Structure 1
Amino acid sequence: MADSRSFRTCDVVVVGGGFAGAWVACRLAQRGVTVILISADDVLPPVSRALSIGLMRRQFVEDATARRAEFFTDSSASLPPAVPPLIAEYLGREFDALTELVRYREFLQYLMPVVPERGLRVGLGDEVVAAVLAEFQRCGGIRLRGRVTDLVMEGDACRGLHYEQGGVHGQLFGADVVLASGGFCGLFADGVGSNSGHVLGTYARHGGALANLEMFARFPLGDLDRKVPVYPFELEGAPHLMRADATAHELIELLEVYDGDLVDLEVFRRYWIRNFDVPHTIASPRGRSRLGPIKGFSMGGMAISMTGETVRNVHAVGECAYDLAVDSVSGKPFATYLALGGMLADQLADRRHSSVVEPGSGVSRANASADAQLRALVEQGLSSFQDNRFSFERAERFVDWCRTERRVRQREDCTGNEDVDLLILAEAYACSVLARTESRGFFYRPDFPAPDPALAGAVTVARYDASADQVLASLVHHVNQG
C-alpha cells in the first residue's frame, strides 16, 4: 500500500463528524482559529447523527437560576464534580449561538429544530449538524474525509495524526488535537450503530487513561436486529411490544408511568434486569425484530480531566470524552456536547499559537480496517459476561484472550494498529467491569446487585502498560475537582 509524505498544518485538528466535533470546530473557526475537521462519514453519516432527534429540554435553557447545574448530574455519581456547573454556565450562551444557525420551536417540554416538514422524526440532528458544518466552512474551516489510523507522537506530546483515504496515507499536524470520534457502542451486540471506538484504544496505547468504560446509558427500547433505538413516537399506530408470545403489558405500563429523565433508567431497573433472558419482539409494518434495552451512549471515555500522566495537546469532547451527563438520552447528551464544546473552543482559542510544525520522521503505513472476524469475536466475548451473564471467570477469560490475540497479531505483523487498539479497548472495558464491584445506574452486576455507598463518586481508571502489554484498572475517587 502506497505511502504519502504530504501533510497539512493548522492550529487545531478535530476528529469526528458528529455534532460534538462539528460544534467545537465551528466555534473555533468563528474565532479565526485555523481548523481542519477530519471524518470518515461524508457519504454515510454516523448512526448517532442519522438517528438523532436533536431535542433540547426547555428547562435546560429557560431556567436561568443556579440550580440548572442539578439537571446535569446523573445516577452514576461519578461525573467530574466540576462538569454540571460548567454545563449550566455555558449552555445558555452556546444554545443562543446555535439558534443563530438553526431555528428551534417549542414541542411539549422540549425545543426541537424547525424543518420544512412538521412533526417529530429521527434525522433532525443530522440537519442541525449540516447547518453547523456549513457555518464552519463559511468561516474558513477545512473538511477532510479520512480514517484516523494513529497519533503522531513526540514523547508524551501529540503533534497531529495519521490518516488513510482510499489507500493513501496522509498526516495532519496541529498545535492541538480534539478527539470527537464518538463512543464504542458498536462494539457490542446490544449497542447502537457500528462505531468500534478504536481511537479510544489508540489514545490508551500512547499513554492516555480511560475512565468509566463500563458505564453506558441505554434506550429502554431498541431494535436489536437493526441496532437502532426505538422512540416512543414510533410506537403510535401499528407497532406492538411482545414478551414471548404475549403483549408486554408491564413494559408498556412502565413506559407510560415514567417520562422524561426517568423513563430510560427506571424501565431498565424495574423491568429489564428481571427480564434479560425473556425473548421480546417488536412487531411493526417492517416485520418482527428482537426487542431489548440498547446501549445508546457510553458514559466513559478519555480521562482528560483525571489526574496523572496523560497525552499532552489532546482534548476530547462528545461521547468519547469522560464528561457525559446522562440519565436520559432526551436532551442531556446534546446539551453536554453544546456547552462543553463551547467551553473547549474558548480554551483553545485563548492558547492559540503558531502551528508551524515540522513533519518529523514518524510516517507509518496506512493501516487496514479492523478485521471483521476479529470484531465478531470481540462482540461474542463481550456478550459472555454482560449484565446477568456476568461471572468473574468469564470476564477474566476474555481479558486473557485479548492479551493473547493482541500478541499474536503484533508478532505476525499481519494488521495495522486498529486491531491492536481495538483489543486494548476491549480489554480495558472488561477490566473496568471487574473493577466496579457494585451495580450503579445502568451498570448491573448480579453478584453485586446494589450500589455501594462507599463507591459513590468512584471512577474506574484503565491504563495500558506497554512494557507488560496489558491493561490495569482500578477504582479511584475524584480529586482536585470543582
Structure 2
Amino acid sequence: MRVIIIGSGVAGLTAALDLHPQHDVLVLTKADASESNTRYAQGGVAVVTSPPDSPASQVADTLVAGAGLSDVAAATVLCEGGPASVRELAERGVDFDTTADGRLALGLEAAHEHPRILHVHGDATGAAIAAALVDRVTEAGIDLRARTTVVDVLLDGGRAVGVRLLDGSEITADAVILATGGAGQLYRHTTNPEVATGDGVAIALRAGAAVADVEFYQFHPTSLAAAGNFLISEAVRGEGATLVDADGVRFLLDVHPAAELAPRDVVARGIADQMARQHGAPVRLDATGLGRDFLARRFPTIDASCRRQGFAWDVEPIPVTPAAHYWMGGVRTDVWGRTSVPGLYAVGEVACTGLHGANRLASNSLLEGLVYGGRVADHLNADPADPLVAPAATDADDSVGWQVPEPVDLGDAADAEAYNRSDLQALMWESVGLRRTAEGLREALDTLRGWRTPEVTDAKSAEDANLLLVARAVTAGALRRTESRGGHFRADFPATDPTQAVHSGLVLAR
C-alpha cells in the first residue's frame, strides 16, 4: 500500500518510520526536511516517568488546561501512550538531559502538577527531535521529497486517492496523511516559522473534510518583543522568572493565584491587559535572579538569542509580548487520525481530536505528534486492506459533546479584490486575536471575504490562498462561539457558558 505523508515534523516522521517498511511511504514537505514547528519547540516533552507522577495526573492537568472542553478519551490515549512513545524516541537517537546522578532531568511548566518535562540541551528539544527523526528517515531509505508543495488532495468517489502538486502533477496513493502543523502566520506576531500557513486545514476543507474548534488559538505569553518574536520558553517561568510591569512590579498575582504559572491563556491576556495600561509598551520578564551561569546552561538557545539581540537577561529584565503559538482546532479526527473523508488522515497540530480542548497544556504538543503519529501508523499497519472508514465521531453525539459540522460559506464575495499577506495578518491580530467582539469579527469576516483568493502560480500564492481560507474559518468559528473559554476570549461575552461546552464543527458549503 502506498501512503503519502504531507509534512516532516514529529508527527509525520514518526508515522513514516512506523509505517516503513511494511508500506510504500512517500513524505512530501514544502521546505527543507528539518523545517517545521517541531524544530522550534523549546520547552520539551511532557511525559510521566516515575511516581508520584502518573498518567492520571497528566490527564487531569490536560483537562484543567483545556477549560472544560478536552476529550477525556483523547487525553487518556496521549498520557498512557506517552512513556512508550518517548522510549522509542530515545532509541531513535534523542538524548534527553540527565542530572548529575544519571536520572532524567525533569522540568516544571505552567499548570503541571508534577515536574515531567524532558528536554535536550536545556531548550533545544524540538531541534534535537527533528534532526534525529530526519536522520532515521534518511537511513531507512524512506522517500522524502523536500521543496515540494502539495496543492490539493485527489478525490475519487469521495475518497482521498492521492495529491496534486504545485506543478500540476499528480501522485496517487491508498492513504494520505496530513501532518502539516499549524497556522501561526495568520497573525502579525507569532512564534511559528514561515512554513506555518495552515496548509493542511485548507487542503482538508477543500476536500470536504470537517474541521473543529478552529476558533481556539493559543497565544504564547512570552515572545521576545523584538524582530522575529523569538520564543521565551514557559520553562523559564517554571524555573522562577517573573513578569513585571513598567515599574518593576509583579502584576499577575492580581490576575490568578498561580501568577506566572497560570494557564497560558490567562497569562497571555494578563500581559495584554497590562500592555494596554502601559499604552502598548511590552511587559518585562525578570530572570535576573537565576544568574548568568544557570541561564546559559539551562537555556543556551534562548541565552544566545537574547545576547545576539543585545539583551543581557541576567542583568536586566527583557521585553516580552504574547504571540500566536499553537492551534487547538484543526481537521476533525478520531483517536486513530481518521477524518470524515475516507482515505484522509490528519495527525499533530493540523488535527483536532479534542485532546487540547480550548487551551493546550504546555509541552503536550511534541508528545501528541509522537503518540498520534504512531497510532495512525498502527491503524494502517493493522488493516491495510481497507484502512479508512469515516469516523462516527463526526456525527452528533451529545455524550462526547461534538456538534454536527455546519456548512459555512467561506468563498469570495462577488466584488472581491486583491490583498497582501501583511494586511491579513494585521487584521487577524487586531480583530481575531487575544480579544474578540461580535462587531470586530463581523467586520473582519466581511473584509476577508472581500479579498480575492489568489490564483495559485507559485509556492507563496499557494500559501496565501490557504491562509485566506483558514482565516475565514477561524473568524467564522469565533463569531459563532458566544462565550469566553480557553484560547477564545469574547470581550462582549466574557463569561464561560456551560451550555457551550461542546466542540464546534464546520465544513465548506457546497
TM-score > 0.5, shorter chain as reference: yes
Alignment partner, residue 429 of structure 1: 474
| Cα shift at 1:271 | 4.8
Paired with 1:227 and 1:92, the residues of 2 have a C-alpha distance of 32
Q: Choose from 338, 345, 349 the match for 2:370.
A: 338
**Residue of structure 1 aligned with 2:27, choices 23, 32, 37:** 37
**CA displacement at 1:315 relative to structure 2:** 0.7
CA, structure 1 residues 447+464, in 2 after alignment: closer, same or farther (shift >3 Å)?
A: same
Gaps of 5+ in 1: 1-9, 356-370, 467-482
What are the Cα deviations for residues 97-156 of structure 1, in whole angstroms up to 9, with x where unaligned?
222122333223245355xxxx512x3312212222322333342111112222122232
Matching of residues 267-282 of structure 1 within 5 Å: 267-268=267-268, 270-273=270-273, 275-276=275-276, 278=278, 279-280=281-282
Q: CA deviation at 1:169?
A: 4.8
- How far apart are residue 331 of structure 1 and its match? 2.3
Name 2:250's counterpart in structure 1: 249
- Residues 197-208 of structure 1 correspond to what in structure 2 (within 5 A)? 197-208=198-209
Give the counterpart letter for 1:337 in structure 2: G
Q: Secondary structure at the match of 2:118?
A: strand
Aligned counterpart for 1:56 among listed residues 42, 46, 59: 46
After superposing the two structures, state which structure 1 stretch, 180-189 or 264-273, moved more.
264-273
**How far off its partner does 1:250 sit?**
2.1
Could you list the per-position Cα deviations for residues 172-226 of structure 1 after superposition, in whole angstroms to 9, with x for gaps in the alignment?
3211111010111121113222322133122112211211111123322112541
SS in 2 for 1:208: coil
**2:445 — aligned with what?**
399
2:122 to 100, 120, 123: 120
- The whole-number CA distance in structure 2 between the counterparts of 1:392 and 1:182 is 28
Question: Whose strand proportion is higher, 1 or 2?
Answer: 1
1:25 corresponds to 2:2: no
Which structure 2 residue ranges, 5 or more long, are not aligned? 99-103, 107-114, 286-305, 312-317, 388-416
CA drift of 1:293 comes to 1.9
Distance 2:480 2:386 in 1: 43
- Residues 218-263 of structure 1: per-residue CA shift (max 9 Å, x gap): 32211254133212666899x99664x4335325998995576x45
Letter of the 2:267 partner, please give it. Answer: V
Q: 1:158 aligns to what SS in structure 2?
A: strand
Partner amino acid, structure 1, of 2:230 = V
Pair 423,236 (structure 1): closer, same or farther in 2 beyond 3 Å: closer
**Paired position in structure 2 for 1:188:** 187
Task: Tell me which moved more, 174-183 or 388-397.
Answer: 388-397
How far apart, CA to CA, are the structure 2 residues paired with 1:210 and 1:201?
10
Q: How many percent identity over aligned positions? A: 21
Contact 2:48/2:58, CA 8 A, preserved across alignment:
no
Count of matched residue pairs: 426
Instruction: Compute the displacement of 1:93 (Å).
Output: 2.3
Instruction: Select between 384-393 and 210-219 the one with higher mean Cα deviation.
Output: 384-393
Cα distance in 1, alignment partners of residues 505 and 450 from structure 2? 22
Mapped contact 2:331–2:339 kept (Cα < 8 A): no
Tell me which residue corresponds to 1:469.
none
- Which residue of 2 is the match for residue 300 of structure 1? 329
Equivalent residue of 2:27, what SS? strand
Corresponding residue for residue 450 of structure 1: 495
Q: Is the 8 A contact 2:216 2:327 kept in 1?
A: yes
- Give distance in 2, aligned partners of 1:136 and 1:158: 25
Aligned to 1:367: none
Q: How does 1:281-292 map to 2 (within 5 A)?
A: 285=307, 286-287=309-310, 291-292=320-321
Q: TM-score, normalization: structure 1?
A: 0.77
Q: Do the aligned residues in 2 keep the contact of 1:182 with 1:197 (CA within 8 Å)? A: yes
C-alpha spacing 1:300/1:241, structure 2 compared with 1 (3 Å): same
Structure-2 separation of matches of 1:299 and 1:281 = 26
TM-score (norm. length: structure 2): 0.73
Write out aligned runs for 1:283-432 (5 A): 285=307, 286-287=309-310, 291-305=320-334, 310-323=340-353, 324-325=355-356, 327=359, 330-353=362-385, 374-386=420-432, 390-406=436-452, 409=454, 418-432=463-477
Helix, strand or coil: the match of 1:107? coil
Partner of 1:217: 218
1-side partners of 2:257 and 2:187: how far apart?
A: 28
Does residue 462 (structure 1) correspond to residue 506 (structure 2)? The answer is yes
RMSD over equivalenced CA pairs, Å: 3.8
Deviation, structure 1 residue 332: 1.2
- Equivalent of 1:441, from 486, 490, 497? 486
Identify if the C-alpha distance between structure 1 residues 270 and 277 changes in structure 2 by more than 3 Å, giving closer, same or farther. Answer: closer
